[in-house]
Structure 1
Amino acid sequence: MNRQIKLRQFVTAACLNLVLWTGIYSQKLYETDYQQYNILNRESKEVFVNHLLDEAEALLKEKTSNLHDCVDKQDAYNNLLMLYSREQFPNDTTIDGICARHPSLIIKSNTECHRYYNCSGEDTDLSWWIYYRLWPSKFKHECHYPFMFSEETMQCENYTEVDCSKRYEPTWECRYFRLTCKLTRCKPCEQEYISCEDREDGLHSSPDQPLHYPKYITCDNGRRIDEGRCPTDAVWGVQSFPYNGTCVQLFAVPKDFNPYGGLPSCNGTVDGDYQFPAGYCLGYYKCEGGVATAVKCPNNTIFDTARKRCEVGGNCIRPT
């Protein structure tokens, strides 16, 4: 009996010691983890603060640099205002002296919308020609076709985004110096680039190709903005050609406009429906008041030569 009591007391004491030891050990672990957390948290905060300081320093340097540029440009433009007040405008003659005093200046040409002055550098494709006295100054620049110099962005932009006001606005590639033929052994610019200066807006037959070629150019505000080849007409099954500002199938192109067209003239012809002289049987042309119109027969029909109408199984006599 005493032995059981002693055993029970021993077990109880052991359990109490275990609980006490576990509590003490857990407290030490907690304190250790807490200390490590504080160390990591402090290090993270230091890294974050240092990152913010680096960003702030970089931003400050950038703003300071921009401020210096703005001050320099403001001084330059103040001097230009003084020149303008004396009616001394930057031009091909005065620009070298102006750039010597203001090396970061960028300014438009007062007379030409596609050209400007940049005192900070040169375009060797242009300045190379100074030696031949074909280009006035290394500080004079020219946009690439069809770009113009914008007073708002101070750089070359598409002509649709620029207001040239009274400045000369070229519309043809050959009005750009960089594209012109400058030596005797080069291909003339007018042979390289088709002009739309005297053409209405829209699609036109390509003037450098024979009329039986389906190539076209597209003009907009005196500029050639596109070129290509008219497709085969899916409905008529024949080649299309430029006519009246668009690509139309062969039998809608009047012979009076293009001798290779398939639409005859109805001048002096009685009103009615007629077979195409070329023997095309899937349609016909209608004369009405001297005006010719191409008409496509409905599906599964052809133009009957004798009855002069589209019929299923019609008898279309092709000329020999």
Structure 2
Amino acid sequence: MTVLYGLYLILTCVSASSLYKRVDIDSYRTPTKWGTGPACVINCWGKENGVYQSCDSCKTYITCDRGRLYDNGTCYEDLVWDNNRKKCTFPPSSTCWMNGPCTYDCRDKRDGNYQSCRACDVYVTCVSGKLYPDQPCPQGKVWDQSIRECDLASSTCIQN
């Protein structure tokens, strides 16, 4: 009976270890909330010790220490995490967009309407490199960048 139990433990450990293969997280795309961007981190495998953008939201960050992930920290009030600066900043963040890939600068943009960084029920207009902020959508509608207009729902802007 002891031999069978020992064999069972060995087989269990071997099959469990084959399930948990090390994954290079930088090459693995994970679904994230809109805007958390490619800089976000879901675990600390292979990461240097430090603070990183969480994939949970633009307001949260994680700490990696010797391969271990520590609870999310939260940016206070209206601040969001900027992974390039490694601190909470006022929006917009260079690495995390509160409302999907938003526009806060019209340099190198064609004339037209774009997702606002401030809210889902407004959009911005770019004309000759100049930004015209917070153009309102009709009541009850939100901006959807994929169709470039206000609609009843948006696939590109998530209300936080």
TM-score (norm 2): 0.32
| Structure with higher strand content | 2
Of structures 1 and 2, the one with the larger relative CO (CA 8 A, separation 6+) is 2
TM-score (norm 1): 0.17
